[in-house]
Structure 1
Amino acid sequence: MLSKSSAKYIQSLQHKKFRDEYGVFVAEGDKLVLEMIQSAQFEPVSLYVVEGWQTEHAASLKSVEHLIHTIPQETLERISGMPSPNKVLGVFRQKVWELPTRFEGVTLMLDDLRDPGNLGTIIRTADWFGVQHIFCSEQTVEVYNPKVVQSTMGSINRVQIHYTSLEQMVSMHSAIPVYAALLEGESVKNIQPQKPCF
């Protein structure tokens, strides 16, 4: 049985104000939650699962058994932010990554990207190509937005996201070349970027 106050707390995490206040975020669905537990990049705070889910995934849950709360499907649907909730919702501790001092390969910079789905897709694509760091302007959508988290499909565990002044970053690392995506720019097929690069 989930108390009204606990349900209200979980529902509040759909809003940035409360995610920031509590320092946590939500992830939903079998694949994403299990991957987050196994990667151990983000500390699990609590897991809300439907009956039978814990037994089904017992081998992967030994380290977090004490955090699991079994709830009815209708309760999960009430606290979920997804239109079609899966069998598990996890609350995880936010993490602020240390800024890297050395750069290898390609490091992405995103300037005022506002669409959560787009950020999640970029993180997922960056992970596929082995990009380890993404720097975001302070006006870029928050990485812990539930839509961002879900659309990363687990890549949030492998790509470190930093929020900072992009101008300062470029200034501090002036020896690293910067390549910008512009509508009127030269075709990327004609460019052989130096690495490391932004």
Structure 2
Amino acid sequence: MLSKNKIKLLRGLQRKKVRKSSKFYIVEGPKLVAEILFTGADWHELYATESWLRSNPILVNDKRLVLVNEKDLAQISSLKSPNEVLMVLKKDTVQDFSLIVSNPFVLALDGVNDPGNLGTIIRNADWFGVCHILCSLKTVDQYNPKVIQSAMGSFQRVQLHYGNLIEMLSNFKSHTIMACDLSGTSIYECDFKEPLVLVMGNESHGVSDILSAVVHQNITIPSFSPTTDSLNVSVATGIVLSTIKGQIKLKK
């Protein structure tokens, strides 16, 4: 049985403030935990039910393992239906930003607020081979439990970098910086070339006007419907990434 203090500490990791101060975050569910164990990534603690442990007996003597019942798991889980296992991990060390600038394709997010959208964007980035995402300070925390659940294992392979977006983008001197905007040039009429930075904006307001100082070209996904006036940002990101990556691959 878990102590009240331990339950309070683990539940606290659902909040950004606690994750920031402790430098820990949580991952839940057999599929996500299995992927982390398979990759050999370092982890801090594991809270698991007997049923999960029976399927993973190799960890039975690991001192970082804490056996819990379903009631305990429900008290520390962020899920409505807790699922057998919860892992606590140390937050990643931030990579030297100067090394990121050498990447031929980088994604940037300006104030994406919804955790589900960010998680899906991370999965999109992973699918299309984008390893780095620049995030404005108004973008939702990458370690939010809902982001982790939506991103699945992709959160391990795509690195997110938070900061002043204008300052970060100003370092990409050799890149063409393109922002997705309703008034831009159709993505089907653009000639995409690397190195390139793609900027996607807030769900409601799009890309901030202040970024116009560093954006070289606005692009858009043309609508083929007379009644629909917008796309979900994660869906839009997937469409634009597919178009850009497909065109660049054909040129090689």
Q: TM-score, normalised by structure 2?
A: 0.73
| Contact 1:123 1:159 survives alignment (8 Å) | yes
CA contact (8 A) 1:120 1:149 kept: yes
* CA positional deviation for 1:101: 4.3
1:37 alignment partner AA? L
In the TM superposition, 1:18-37 aligns within 5 A as: 18-37=18-37
Instruction: Give the counterpart letter for 2:193 in structure 1.
Output: Q
> Percentage identity across aligned positions?
40
Q: CA deviation at 1:25?
A: 0.5
Larger radius of gyration: 2
Amino acid at match of 2:20: D
Residue-by-residue CA offset, 1:107-134 (whole Å, 9 max, x unaligned): 1000111111110000011001110000
Q: Quick check: which one's strand share is greater?
A: 2
Deviations 1:109-165 (A, max 9, x none): 001111111100000110011100001011211101111111101100100111122
1:42-70 alpha-carbon deviations (Å, 9 max, x no partner): x31111101131230235x48x9221111
What residue is the counterpart of 2:55 in the other structure? 56
Aligned to 1:71: 68
- 1:111 equivalent in structure 2: 110
> Is the contact between residue 106 and residue 196 of structure 1 (CA under 8 Å) also seen in structure 2?
yes
> 2:84 — aligned with what?
87
SS of aligned partner of 1:185 = strand
Within 2, Cα distance between the matches of 1:157 and 1:37?
A: 12
- SS of residue paired to 1:178: strand
2:146 paired residue number: 147
Distance 1:181 1:89 in 2: 37
Letter of the 1:21 counterpart: S
CA shift for structure 1 position 174: 1.8
What displacement does 1:12 show? Answer: 1.0
- TM-score by length of structure 1 reads 0.92
The 2-side partners of 1:49 and 1:103 are apart by 41
Give the distance between the partners of 1:27 and 1:97, measured in 2 at CA: 19
State the superposition RMSD in angstroms: 1.7
Query: Relative contact order, CA 8 A, sep 6+: which one is greater?
Result: 1
- State the Cα distance separating 1:24 from its structure 2 match: 0.3
Cα distance, 1:102 vs structure 2: 4.2
Instruction: Kindly indicate whether the alpha-carbon contact (under 8 Å) linking 1:105 and 1:131 is maintained by their aligned counterparts in 2.
Output: no
Q: Which residue number corresponds to residue 124 of structure 1? A: 123
Contact 2:132 2:161 in 1 (8 A): yes
Question: Structure 1: where are the runs of 5+ without partners?
Answer: none
1:44 is paired with a residue of what secondary structure?
Answer: coil
Q: Secondary structure at the match of 1:184?
A: strand
Letter in 1 for 2:77: S
Provide the rounded CA distance (Å) in 2 between the counterparts of 1:105 and 1:129. Answer: 13
> What residue number does 1:162 align with?
161
Report the more deviating stretch, 92-101 or 72-81: 92-101
Aligned residues: 195
Question: Structure 2: which 5+ residue stretches go unaligned?
Answer: 198-252
